[in-house]
Amino acid sequence: MSGTDYSYDGEGQFFPYFILTITSLVTLPVTYSWLKPSKELENTATRIDSGYKPEHADLIEGQRKKLKRRERRIKRALISIGGWLVIAYMVYLTIVTARLIPKIWDPYDVLGISRSATEQEIKKHYRRLSLTLHPDKAREDPSRNITKEIINDHWVDVTKAFKALTDEEIRNNYIQFGHPDGKQSFSIGIALPKWIITEGHGKYVLLIYALALGVILPYTVGRWWYGTQRVTREKILVASAGKLFREYDNDQGETGVVGVLSSGEEFNDVLKGHKADNGLSKLEQKVLADSSDSSISSILSKKDRQKLEDLDETPRRKVLNLLWAYLGRVELGDDVLNDEKFEVAPVALRLNEAYTAIALAYGNTKAVLSAYHTAQNLIQALRPGASPLEQLPYFSPEVVKAAEAEKSRNHLTIQEFMRLSADKRKSRVVAPGLLTDSQYKTALTVASKLPVLHVEKAFFKVLGERFITPSSLVQFVVKCRFIPPGTANVPEVKASDLEDIDPDEGDVAANNGRKEDKSGEKPIQPPLAHAPYFARDHAPRWHVFLADSKQGKIVVPPFSFSTFDKPIIDESGNSTYNVQTLKMQFGAPPQAGKYTFVMHMVCDSYIGTDTKTEVTLEVDDASKVEELVEEDEISEPDEDTIAGQMRALKTGAAPGKPKKKRSDDDSSDGSDTEGDVDSESETDTDTDSDDE
């Protein structure tokens, strides 16, 4: 026997091991990713529980479940279950076939004596065995299937075993090679069952091989590749993105944005086949009915109306009508249509994200705000220009009219409504035909739980510097608090909370901005958006951006915040009024001067909670900063300290680098916190909120 003589796995002893390894390599990670709890914001946040059930709550719930089901990773579940079945079967096979594996040849076992037996005893035992087992003595016994050969073989074995234990040479053989006959043949096995190479099966094996390499592999790779090419970064179809871009217009308001969103290709999946135009005429009648001044038809401008009527593709027309029906909370009188009405909203929100990205690329403030407001409208199921009060449960347009009492053109926000005295508030809306007492209470609980972010202070600063120099990396710091609408005595903000103290110089991680996310602590999430009509859980996000009001352009693109660093509510559910810090970084303008920006803070889930404040960025000339630093140093008396001497050395060496010096300076008096705070207040450029 030679080493090149491969033996195939005829009995199927090793094949299961091979399969087992391969399947577990695939199955274990897949199972992990299947069962791993999702870390998405929507799954970890708390809810605002109001107990309010809107009309058709069952349909909305049904849509919510449908979406959940789609996200449930069914493929992974199937793969991992299949994998585990295969693994179980392979384990079973190895257990069953284990008996066939030949035992290691053991002379003591063959002779049937203990390992402690001496040579004397072995010889004695061998002689005793020869009396019964010697081929001359032993009898054939056909009934027990004992033939001459078996007796002979067994006797040879016994003799070998005896010699292995007594004969010097054979004993050496046994110790060296594990067998009395010397070195045994060495065989390499292939863990494939033998039928693979048996005559006649070759072509099937080749066929499978060709199929795997020529069809399945290219197909999977191609599918993956074209799959990634089909969707954009915002996870919408490329075709939809193209349409959104084509229809984008700087000047279209929120109604226009809704019109654009209806062009998405995604709706074709929602309204498949006959659904694409079923009930369109009925739908149009309901949506454009001229019943009251809060209806959809009144808010559509002439242009928008024209656009809707000019649409000649029926599917898109239906989608747009459904969207308007959803935003107008129009009762369609047909369960199928109502169901579709709730189904289109989450899709539209996804498209709106892509639209927002496009608007941001254009950088037009008005367009971006329209996009954000459309997100609010979609989540709250309210038409553009609706009163923010309609976000509260049971607040229908009639109730809102009563609540607003003052017949102003501008609507009351929830905050303003809640600021009215309790009696006045109640007397306006609790009346026969409007709200009952319990409905009013439900609405109030919801209102008092809405997370409304109130900006306390907003300023610019450069880390570790006293002034903002041209082209430096500026941090825009917003200090704000969650103040639920209607809280009477809001505690004053502590002055210390409004300062942003730089981390220690030695803290490299913090200085590089890596500590921003507070990786050690768990970020705090506000509760999910209270959106009873929206068939999907949504975690509210706050977008902060700076705009130039004169040009109507965005200067610093939005930073989005969905988690905060301090608890928002304590254990008993009361607001903590903690001051939250939001930071965004951008490069300062290259020229010195005063820059006035408008800061916009927009929550994507609640209408009427936007904040708009003017902030001024003062960029000082680098030379001026240098002067001041020099002055600083002259007044510094501690020349005798090591740090002082070091600084003296450095200032002498590098006079042209004000920045560097400044940071040195800081390190010398790093412990002097008071000085830091002082410098802090000097740095803060003023924040003028345009109070009335």
Partner 1 sequence: MWPIPSIDWLALTIPIAYLTILIGSLAIFSSLYRKRKAASAAALEPWFPPHLQRNIYLSLLHQEDPKVPDSILKAALMRRATEDIHRIVQVRNAKQALQVLLQRGSVGDDLWQRFQHAEREIEEELKDVVTEANAFAPNWGQIIFQSASEMAQNTLLRDRLSEIQSTQAAEKEWWEKRKAAIQEDFMKELDEEKKEPKTERSDDDAVLVEGGGPAVGAGRKTGGKKKGKH
CB of 530 to partner 1, least distance (A): 17
Between CA 186 and CA 563 the distance in angstroms is 65
Q: Which is nearer to partner 1, 236 or 462 (CB)?
A: 236
Going through 358-467 in order, the beta strands assigned E by DSSP cover 453-461
CB of 236 to partner 1, least distance (A): 9
Count CB-CB contacts under 10 A for residue 376. Answer: 25
CB of 483 to partner 1, least distance (A): 9
CB of 98 to partner 1, least distance (A): 44
Residue carrying structure tokens 């803070």: 601
β-pairing, 542-548 vs 188-193, is unpaired
Q: Which is nearer to partner 1, 53 or 303 (CB)?
A: 303
Contacts of 399 (CB under 8 A, 6+ apart): 389, 429, 434, 435
Q: Which is nearer to partner 1, 60 or 237 (CB)?
A: 237
Q: Which is nearer to partner 1, 69 or 407 (CB)?
A: 407
Q: Which is nearer to partner 1, 406 or 437 (CB)?
A: 406
- Long-range contacts for 26-34 (Cβ within 8 Å, ≥24 apart)? 26/79, 26/83, 27/79, 27/80, 27/83, 27/84, 27/86, 27/87, 30/76, 30/79, 30/80, 30/83, 31/80, 31/83, 31/84, 33/73, 33/76, 34/73, 34/76, 34/77, 34/80
Between CA 232 and CA 243 the distance in angstroms is 13
Q: Where does 36-136 have alpha helices with state H?
A: 41-44, 57-70, 74-97, 107-111, 119-133
CB of 218 to partner 1, least distance (A): 10
Contacts of 375 (CB under 8 A, 6+ apart): 349, 352, 353, 356, 604, 605
CB of 689 to partner 1, least distance (A): 5
CB of 416 to partner 1, least distance (A): 7
Q: Which is nearer to partner 1, 639 or 691 (CB)?
A: 691
Q: Which is nearer to partner 1, 469 or 613 (CB)?
A: 613
Q: Which is nearer to partner 1, 262 or 356 (CB)?
A: 356
Q: Which is nearer to partner 1, 8 or 355 (CB)?
A: 355
CB of 582 to partner 1, least distance (A): 16
The CA dihedral of 392, 397, 399, 401, to the nearest 10 degrees, is 120
Between CA 172 and CA 184 the distance in angstroms is 14
How many CA atoms lie within 13 Å of 70's alpha carbon, on the beta-carbon side?
8
Q: From 583, 584, 616, select the one nearest 598 (Cα to Cα).
A: 616
Whether the Cβ atoms of residue 243 and residue 264 lie closer than 8 Å to each other: yes
CB of 303 to partner 1, least distance (A): 8
SS3 state at 391 = helix
Length reported for the chain = 692
Q: Which is nearer to partner 1, 367 or 462 (CB)?
A: 367
Residue type, 93: L
Q: What is the 3-state secondary structure (H, E, C) of 346-388?
A: HHHHHHHHHHHHHHHHHCEHHHHHHHHHHHHHHHHCCCCCCCH
CB of 660 to partner 1, least distance (A): 34
Interface with partner 1 (CB under 8 A): 229, 232-234, 238-239, 241-242, 245-246, 250, 253, 302, 354, 357-358, 361-363, 373, 384-385, 387-388, 405-411, 413, 415-416, 419, 454-455, 600, 607-613, 689-692
